[in-house]
Structure 1
Amino acid sequence: MTTTLEPAAGPTTDAQATRERIASLLQSYGAAIVLVILLVLGSIAFPTFATGSNFANVLTQSSFLLIVGAGMTFVILTGGIDLSVGSVFALGGVLAAFGSTYGIVGALLFPLIVCGAIGAVQGLLVAYAGMAPFIVTLAGLLGVRGLVLAATDGGSTTPLISDPAVVNLGQGAVFGIHWPVFIAIVVVVVGSVLLARTRGGQSVLAVGGSESASTLMGLPVARVKFSVYVVSGLCAGLAGALNAAYSSSGVPTVGVGLELNAISAVVIGGTLLVGGRGNLVGTVAGVLLLSVIQNLINQVGSLNSSVQAVVSGAFLAIVVIIQTVLSRTQRL
């Protein structure tokens, strides 16, 4: 009688599981790891880098992008994209300046209502009319920028903010940290809780993972997709209002290219462009990483400003390639 010995499956399975865990950790926390490395290297190379004032400046400049990036994270998690956030950001700043004549409530409420409504219109077109997010939000980018120019006489007028309470919202600080940083932290915490602890947040991840499966599960796919564009519009409007308070004016030309920075930060932070996987903690790391890279380039001083765009673009391309490899590793 011949006995056939089957090869042991245990070691292979264990090795595969280990590779998947490592790939998942690198995908989720790779940006944070690189950020720590850059902070250490920057502190060694540049004496002026590791100072309280410089770090405070990095945090302040990051806060506006982080708020926009938080909204963008929700959109990308569903497999969508929002190219209009840069223009909505500028509109939020202009509306905040106009609304500041009614105090801090007007400076915040006016841009939130209008920018939230813009997000709602885009969400309706994407979720219920079945239009492509790229086309809808590209139209939003152009159309909203047109509204900004129309409201400021073709961009030649910059509405100023004279209300001290509104200005303090942007320029006021606690222990050297400006208020927009604390507001950005609140946005991230609230968003993280919504994603991780609520049915709506889980629905966002499910829709991004598979719309067809989500439909079979009875999830309100259209409503989820609609809601994330509203969130994105609200976040962009809030960030624009805070930026206007910080600069004491609603500059109509700000926000050009902000949508690309936001998308870059979200993707660098580990959120998949196809949706279904990611979190706001990763977006925080991605935003800070981009800001630190920019700050390090400024520390060098002799480099042309175009170097920043080249470095950011190359870094994003590398991250997307790595994410693709890691995703394939987890599916093997």
Structure 2
Amino acid sequence: MPSPAPQTVRRLSRHGVVIALLALILFGYLRYDNFLGTFNVLSVLRYNAMFALVSLGMAYVIMTGGIDLSVGSTAALGSVVAALLSPYGLVPGLLGGLAAGLAVGAVNALVITRLNILPFVATLATMLAASGCALLLAGNQSVSVSYETGFIELGQGDLLGFPVPAWIALAAFLAGAIALNLTAWGRTVLAVGGNEEATRLMGLPADRAKASVYLVSGALAGLAGVILAAQFGAGQPIEGVGWELFAIAAVVVGGTLLTGGVGSVGSTLAGVLLLGLIFNILNFENGLGQISLSAYWQSVVRGAFLLLVVVIQARLAGRTEEPA
């Protein structure tokens, strides 16, 4: 029976991101005026909803031991397609962006599962292809959305006093948590990440599960692109640069192993909020006038924070493996 100390360390390793998030919120509340004000809270939720959707899809991919570098370019492509279709109404714009994301996800799934190409190489290729398609469709410029069809409500609207993008992200995460924890699909996804060959020997549909996570990742990235276009009033063919890095960071900070087999939807959401609040706090610091950090330095700070969290998690994981 494991001693109390390793059990405590294991809990800290599993819930460390939540503890860090609560500590960051407390710090911001004590240091800045209006940090927990309605405007700031809703702004953070509205803006980070896009990153939450991309991170959710990335979490599933990483749980299988894969990686999806194409999510940023897919979101950019989805935003352009949605903007081009927005004059026809909210639904065509939404479905168009989703379809664009699904198309990229389908290519990833086919190349990885049927042609046995490494996910890093396959998604790097589709990242370049999706970026090129977005630029071609947009004519190398932003594509304005229609303000007359209600399309912008997907990004700028509120429902029951809560941003519509946040509602969409919340619904996606609730459905994602149920799918991962309460369905055979979720168990198969984790099994593939733990040991793909053993999963096949048990008769589980390993290839089908691997293909499905790339379809989900592509669809969620496309949906994030729809929100991007609706929120900023234009399809952005050069947007999405670095989104894959944010998503990977949020997933890793949330405790999902890059080697696969272990992961949590809830902790991924906490990771998204944690990284989003770091930028928010840095903006508040700039506002105080005591320091002045450009966007470049903010990226340095967030990268250093990510490295610190990963090192701490690795140390905690190592301690849980020590004999009692």
Question: TM-score, normalised on structure 1?
Answer: 0.92
Alignment of 1:69-218 (within 5 A): 69-153=55-139, 155-218=140-203
Q: Write the mapping of 1:35-46 to structure 2, written as runs, cut at 5 A.
A: 35-46=21-32
Structure 1's unaligned 5+ residue stretches are 1-12
By how many angstroms is 1:254 displaced?
A: 1.3
What is the identity, as a one-letter code, of the residue corresponding to 2:227? L
Equivalent in 280, 289, 296 of residue 306 of structure 1: 296
Q: Of the candidates 308, 311, 315, which is equivalent to residue 321 of structure 1? A: 311
Distance 1:257 1:121 in 2: 21
Tell me the residue number matched to 2:289: none
Equivalent position SS for 2:236:
coil
Bigger shift: 315-324 or 250-259? 315-324
Letter in 1 for 2:156: Q
How many pairs does the alignment contain?
317
* 1:220 corresponds to: 205
Residues in 1 aligned to 2:278 and 2:81: alpha-carbon distance in whole angstroms: 31
The SS at the match of 2:234 is coil
| Residues 74 and 100 in structure 2, CA contact (< 8 A), matched pair in contact too | no
CA contact (8 A) 2:18 2:270 kept: yes
Q: What is the letter of the counterpart of residue 299 of structure 1?
A: F
In 1, distance between residues paired with 2:313 and 2:119?
A: 22
Q: CA deviation at 1:141?
A: 1.3
Partner of 2:245: 260
- In the TM superposition, what is the alpha-carbon distance from 1:82 to its structure 2 partner? 0.4
Amino acid at match of 1:323: Q
One-letter code aligned to 2:177: S
**How big is the shift at 1:157?**
4.2
Q: 2:141 and 2:223 mapped to 1: Cα distance?
A: 23
User: How well do the aligned residues superpose, as a CA RMSD in angstroms?
Assistant: 1.4
How far residue 159 of structure 1 moved from its aligned partner, in angstroms, is 3.2
Of 189-198 and 240-249, deviating more is 240-249
Is 2:321 the partner of 1:331?
yes
Is 1:294 the counterpart of 2:294? The answer is no
1:60 pairs, out of 32, 46, 54, with: 46
**Residue of structure 2 equivalent to 1:14:** 2
Task: Indicate if the aligned counterparts of 1:20 and 1:329 stay in contact, CA closer than 8 A.
Answer: yes
Alignment of 1:235-274 (within 5 A): 235-274=220-259
Structure 2 segments unaligned to the other structure (5+ residues): 287-291
**Aligned residues with identical type, % of pairs:** 43
Residues in 2 aligned to 1:19 and 1:230: alpha-carbon distance in whole angstroms: 41
Q: Does the 8 Å contact 2:142/2:235 carry over to 1?
A: no
Question: Radius of gyration: which is bigger?
Answer: 1
Deviations 1:271-320 (A, max 9, x none): 11111111110011000001110000000112222221111111111222
- How far off is 1:42 after superposition? 0.9
Q: Please point out which of 29, 32, 37 is paired with 1:51.
A: 37
Distance in 2 (CA, whole Å) between partners of 1:143 and 1:19 is 50
Instruction: Give the drift of 1:163.
Output: 3.3
